[in-house]
Amino acid sequence: MSKITTAIIDYKLSNLKSVKAACDYVGLNAFITSDFKKVLQADSIILPGVGSFKEAMKNLKELDLDKSIIENINKKKYFLGICLGMQLLFTKSEEFGNAKGLNLIEGEVVKFKSKKKFPTPIPHVGWNNIKFIKNNNICDGLESISQMYFVHSYYAKPKKKNVILSETKYCNINFCSSVSKQNIFAFQFHPEKSGEFGLKVYKNYLNIIQNDKNTF
């Protein structure tokens, strides 16, 4: 078990048990907390989540967790975002009207559009291919095209393409399925529900923290 501590942030919309189990499996010393002070003291952060972007931001702000996330990232501590936890990094979301995000990555979160002639099932649920479009230690040991598990109705559109780590095609839409920016890694899919390949993401995250804490 790593001595490096990782805070799994509980903001009352999170899929916590499976994330904690994945951390335990790879030896990542993680604990679940809603206490912003404990988040600030941790060496790294995991922000999981399912549900509404707007409600998530409301809860983060009420618990002062938005400030602790931004402060930790600005201090070059590592961050792993999962599903809604990835979307919250962006500037805004159109879900239930425009809502402001953490604005740590410029861009917006938009809903899959369904056309009458070619209906798009929403939400996007199940296994799908992800295609890595740049190299990063977070995807070591993964195939250039891997299958991961998704559950979402909205997807992120980064303003700058250089933050896009992987893309996925759903119906006729190519969307950003993961991002990396310096000490930030985030995935629209659920690595903890994606079998062996997904667990490699958590193992790689641990290795990055242990081996190269301040170099990206």
Token duo for residue 173: 């839409």
- Backbone φ and ψ of 146, nearest 5°: -125, 160
Is 192 an active-site residue?
Answer: yes
Choice among 23, 83, 139, 176 that is catalytic: 83
Q: Which amino acid is at 14?
A: S
Are 57 and 66 a contacting pair, CB within 8 Å?
Answer: yes
Choice among 139, 152, 176, 190 that is catalytic: 190
Token duo for residue 201: 């993401």
Is 152 an active-site residue?
Answer: no
Is 83 an active-site residue?
Answer: yes
Choice among 124, 152, 176, 192 that is catalytic: 192
List, in order, residues 6 or more apart from 142 with CB less than 8 Å away. 132, 197, 200, 201
Helices (H), 75-183: 84-87
Quote the CA–CA distance of 89 and 156 in Å, as a whole number: 9
Quote the CA–CA distance of 89 and 119 in Å, as a whole number: 29
Quote the CA–CA distance of 82 and 47 in Å, as a whole number: 6
The residues that bridge with 6 in the sheet, in sequence order, are 30, 44
Active site residues: 83, 190, 192
